[in-house]
Chain A
Amino acid sequence: MSSFFAQVLDILIVLLGDPFSAKTWQVIFQFIPFVLFFEVPVYLLVTLGILKYGLIRMSEKYTQDRNFPSVSCIITCYSEGEGVKRTIQTLAEQFYPGLIQIIAVIDGAAQNQKTYEAAKSMENVVSRIPKRSLLVLPKWKRGGRVSSLNAGLAVARGDIVMALDGDTSFDNNMVERATRHFEDPDVACVAGSLKVRNIRKSLVTRLQAIEYFFSIQASKTGLSAFNMVNNISGAFGVFRKDVLKAVMGWSTGSAEDLDLTLRVKNYFGRYKNMKIVFDPEAVGLTDVPETFRDFFRQRLRWDGDLSYIYFRKHWMSFNPRLVGWKNFIALLWTGLLFQIVMPFAITGYLTYLAVAFPVSFALGIMALVYLFYLSVTAFFFIIFVLVLSERPWQDMKLFPWIVFMPLFSMINRVHNAFSTLWEIFGKAHQDTSMAPWWVIKRREKTDET
């Protein structure tokens, strides 16, 4: 017991007594390169982008004096059950003067009879609303998300096609916000802002809400200002139908959203003005895992999928001639460095810290790092909420939970490293629950040939 107190005392001494001793600095300098070279440029870029967005947004007003293109919303449904009703209803009740065709594709409708019936029961409700239509498309045999999206695309009549998740509901101005970007003929796709619906459920949902806010709403807004959006989320993507037809729809395999983003970006080299825009005010709310166990399981899949896309499927996209120099660097940076290299670097650094130094010293360093991240996170959170948030009050309520964020991010990074290893050595994407194994298997075969 006394040794524990001694350790704590040591930490305090390192932190408060002599924070700038040579030894501390030595270790901190070993850490700084990561922060300095990997993260800070991105933070700066994102902050600049957000400020740019904020300035433009301030001068913008709602106007009826624009085109309201017809929109097709493909909702990929599986076992959401009654939940799809909500998705359909929030789409049907959009404030949008144009036509909205809602296409609910039920994958494996034979097993998911409840989902199918729930979607069917909305036909009456939607038919009463002018300029809205609902088409329930049962795919009796399960074929995966990609086949649902492509089936939906085949019957989509709108000029704009949205790919949406069956468990995501939308703000009532989402379609209006998302479609206004297509006034600019160079805009190919719009990525929507996903936020957490079940925030108040548990600690892990709150932390995810903060994480979503940073990694989606804030960072994508920043990247979007420089046309460097890294991914159009599969749960919420908006496309020109012509663009989807040009890239021939979605392609089999997991992380089809990132795959599609990269394939669209492959046109950037040829069409210099082409844009992918992120709109922080086109908001969809989704339920996130409520326990740590479910959360890590979800991340295992996502992170694994990510490296699958980068390493196995899209090596060729890492080519400035295809995606343009700017996006090539962005891909390397946010894709490779952030998503793949950083997790390993941080895991390695932590291991080094634990092995090479006494526990009290290591913990001391960790505490410093924690404080550093905490202040950075808190600072940016306040700025971003003030500039970006469409619900500032609600988002500000998350502020106290920021104290957990540095730790949460670190654990995520370490877990990410393991997920990537699992993908590389375990070929985890074949276990994906997003499509039946025979679809994934086929993909493997075509990849080899």
Chain B
Amino acid sequence: MTEKDIKFIRFALAENPCLNRYETVRDVHSIEELTQVMEDADAFIIDGSEPEELACQVSCTIRSNPSSCAKPLFTTSALPEKIALLCDGEISSMEEAVKKASQILNRLNEANQDALKESPDFRLMAYLYARPSMQIKPLLEPFTPHAYRYPLASCLSEDPAMGEEWLGFLKQKGLLEFGDLIDRIRLCPRCETSHLNYIDICPNCSSLDIVRKEFIHCFTCGRVGPVEDFLLEDHLRCPFCHTRLRHLGEDYDHPMESHSCNDCGHRFIDPDVVVDCFNCRTRSDTDELIIKNIYGFKITNKGKTAARVGTMEDVYSIFDSLNYMAPPYFSKLMNWLLDLHKRYPQDNFSVVGIYISNLPDIALKLGRKKTLRLANEIARRLRQLIRGTDVSTRTSINNLWLLLPKTDKAGANVLAERIKNLSSLIDIDYEGTLEFKIALFSTPDDLMDADDAERILARLSGELGNE
């Protein structure tokens, strides 16, 4: 896309916009107008700073809509953080806007457009892919129960209330990772709010009514007592030896400080500290509180791949044309063959695990169409290698499994060699070749005591090294 073609929509908050008129800019003035035209726009500008409420609504509307959520969005003045976190910064001229927008749009075009429509996960990946150095930052909202939330995640997710959980889920999937550590907060162990009140109390009776008492040490007679025992109208006098104490450090000093409880009279050096929850009134010890680190989030390499290629799911599903069987049935069948082998030890079988370790990288390089074609080619070749009675399955982390009845170690090894040779047979537009990783299991050689399908597959997964 050339810079001239970028179609801007400007939402003018004030009567007098800050930016000059510009031919490719379309002005809108209300949310309704915006929602009608925003599908066609390439980039957005919020012009002006007041009213803030409206600016907030506009930015949320743009970020919540699947078609516009990853598009560039600029402001013309410094807006509050809750809006700024949804925007791509301030601009002072249209030239600047065009330049910044084209950078983001060019990256955004590299992202897989079909996947964008599919799920919010991919929209967020595309959003981050288009802004490589960006982190999803938390926003401090002091009077909310959790104190921090992620406005961008709330806008892009399907359920705005679950923004943070969603980020956690994407992190688990390996698409996101922690960025900067922003803060550490403590939450009530019962209701998980951050509105806590730290109070010092009497360690004996837990009363709140404690006072600090300072002590005086008389240098003349060496006796120690609380200040009030020494205090006269305008001076200090030792109640024991009646010396007038004039000079701190010469006549007297403060040997210690202690507290006393007005309720039970208990004297102590350090009061206990407990925490009262303002919300649910639960009282906890400080070490019972939930400690929560607040991080920014950034995209991982896997996330970037997902943004460019979309899901790898359809690529891998091509392999399901190889006598596919759902994983539970596959396991059941394996267990049955195991039982059979125990009964008739000469009845052998083998399991082959296949993992193409560099397929995501290749996909990132080749793009979606070529990757699909490549997957088809691999599947065709594999089909030629296996027998009609062999079955396959695919587990969630994209390991491909083949179950070969009536095949012993030697037979399985032959197959493994042939699969490995595929990498040299398949011609791809990529520096390097397909990297097949293969793990083998054959009865009776690899059978261990108490083996079942689950254990065998777990063992082979480990060998494949797929994380």
B247 within 8 A of partner (CB): yes
Neighbouring B residues of A391 by C-beta, 8 Å: 246
Q: How far is the CB of B253 from chain A (nearest CB, A)?
A: 9
Contact between B250 and A197 (Cβ–Cβ < 8 Å)?
yes
For A172, A173, A283, which residue has the most chain B Cβ atoms within 10 angstroms? Answer: A172
Number of contact residues on B: which range applies? 10 to 19
Contact between B234 and A285 (Cβ–Cβ < 8 Å)?
no
Contact between A95 and B247 (Cβ–Cβ < 8 Å)?
no
Neighbouring B residues of A172 by C-beta, 8 Å: 235-236, 245-248
Q: How far is the CB of A335 from chain B (nearest CB, A)?
A: 32
B249 within 8 A of partner (CB): yes
Report how far A93 CA is from B235 CA in the complex, Å: 11
Neighbouring A residues of B235 by C-beta, 8 Å: 95, 172-173
A170 within 8 A of partner (CB): yes
Q: How far is the CB of A94 from chain B (nearest CB, A)?
A: 10
Contact between A169 and B234 (Cβ–Cβ < 8 Å)?
no
A176 within 8 A of partner (CB): yes
B96 within 8 A of partner (CB): no
Contact between A86 and B246 (Cβ–Cβ < 8 Å)?
no
Contact between A90 and B248 (Cβ–Cβ < 8 Å)?
yes
A-B contact number at CB 8 A: 36
Among B220-243, those with CB < 8 Å from A are: 233-236
Report how far A171 CA is from B246 CA in the complex, Å: 5
A377 within 8 A of partner (CB): no
- Per-residue contact bits, chain B 239-281, to A (CB 8 Å; 1 contact, 0 not): 0000001111110000000000000000000000000000000
Among A226-278, those with CB < 8 Å from B are: none
Contact between A62 and B248 (Cβ–Cβ < 8 Å)?
no
Contact between A170 and B247 (Cβ–Cβ < 8 Å)?
yes
Neighbouring B residues of A173 by C-beta, 8 Å: 234-235, 246
- Per-residue contact bits, chain A 71-107, to B (CB 8 Å; 1 contact, 0 not): 0000000000000001001100101000000000000
Q: Which B residue's beta carbon lies closest to that of A281?
A: B246
Q: How far is the CB of A209 from chain B (nearest CB, A)?
A: 13
Contact between B249 and A62 (Cβ–Cβ < 8 Å)?
no
Q: Which of A62, A90, A197 interacts with B234 by CB under 8 Å? A: A62
Contact between B248 and A169 (Cβ–Cβ < 8 Å)?
yes
Report how far A90 CA is from B236 CA in the complex, Å: 14
Contact between B234 and A95 (Cβ–Cβ < 8 Å)?
yes
- Per-residue contact bits, chain A 190-229, to B (CB 8 Å; 1 contact, 0 not): 0000000100000000000000000000000000000000
Contact between A283 and B246 (Cβ–Cβ < 8 Å)?
yes
Neighbouring B residues of A62 by C-beta, 8 Å: 233-234
Report how far A141 CA is from B245 CA in the complex, Å: 39
Neighbouring A residues of B245 by C-beta, 8 Å: 172
Q: Provided the pairs A172-B236, A173-B235, A176-B234 are in contact, do residues A86 and B247 lie with their beta carbons within 8 angstroms?
A: no
A390 within 8 A of partner (CB): yes
Neighbouring B residues of A95 by C-beta, 8 Å: 234-235
Report how far A388 CA is from B136 CA in the complex, Å: 75
Neighbouring B residues of A176 by C-beta, 8 Å: 234
Q: How far is the CB of B97 from chain A (nearest CB, A)?
A: 45
Report how far A169 CA is from B250 CA in the complex, Å: 10
Q: Which A residue's beta carbon lies closest to that of B233?
A: A62
Contact between A90 and B233 (Cβ–Cβ < 8 Å)?
no
Report how far A170 CA is from B245 CA in the complex, Å: 12
Contact between A169 and B247 (Cβ–Cβ < 8 Å)?
yes
Q: How far is the CB of B315 from chain A (nearest CB, A)?
A: 64
Contact between B248 and A285 (Cβ–Cβ < 8 Å)?
no
Report how far A285 CA is from B248 CA in the complex, Å: 11
Neighbouring A residues of B247 by C-beta, 8 Å: 90, 169-172, 283, 285
Contact between A169 and B249 (Cβ–Cβ < 8 Å)?
yes
Neighbouring A residues of B250 by C-beta, 8 Å: 169, 197, 285
Report how far A169 CA is from B251 CA in the complex, Å: 12
Neighbouring B residues of A169 by C-beta, 8 Å: 247-250
Q: How far is the CB of B326 from chain A (nearest CB, A)?
A: 68
Neighbouring B residues of A197 by C-beta, 8 Å: 250
Report how far A95 CA is from B244 CA in the complex, Å: 14
Report how far A170 CA is from B246 CA in the complex, Å: 9
Q: Which of B233, B234, B236, B249 interacts with A86 by CB under 8 Å? A: B249
Report how far A285 CA is from B249 CA in the complex, Å: 10
Among A393-436, those with CB < 8 Å from B are: none
Q: How far is the CB of A275 from chain B (nearest CB, A)?
A: 24
Pairs across A and B, CB under 8 Å, 17 listed: A62-B234, A86-B249, A90-B247, A90-B249, A95-B234, A169-B247, A169-B248, A169-B249, A171-B246, A171-B247, A172-B246, A172-B248, A173-B234, A173-B235, A197-B250, A285-B250, A390-B246
B residues near A, CB below 8 A? 233-236, 245-250
Told that A169-B248, A172-B248, A285-B247 touch, could you supply 20 new A-B pairs with CB distance under 8 A? A62-B233, A62-B234, A86-B248, A86-B249, A89-B248, A95-B234, A169-B249, A169-B250, A170-B247, A171-B246, A172-B236, A172-B246, A172-B247, A173-B234, A173-B235, A176-B234, A283-B247, A285-B250, A390-B246, A391-B246
A residues near B, CB below 8 A? 62, 86, 89-90, 93, 95, 169-173, 176, 197, 283, 285, 390-391
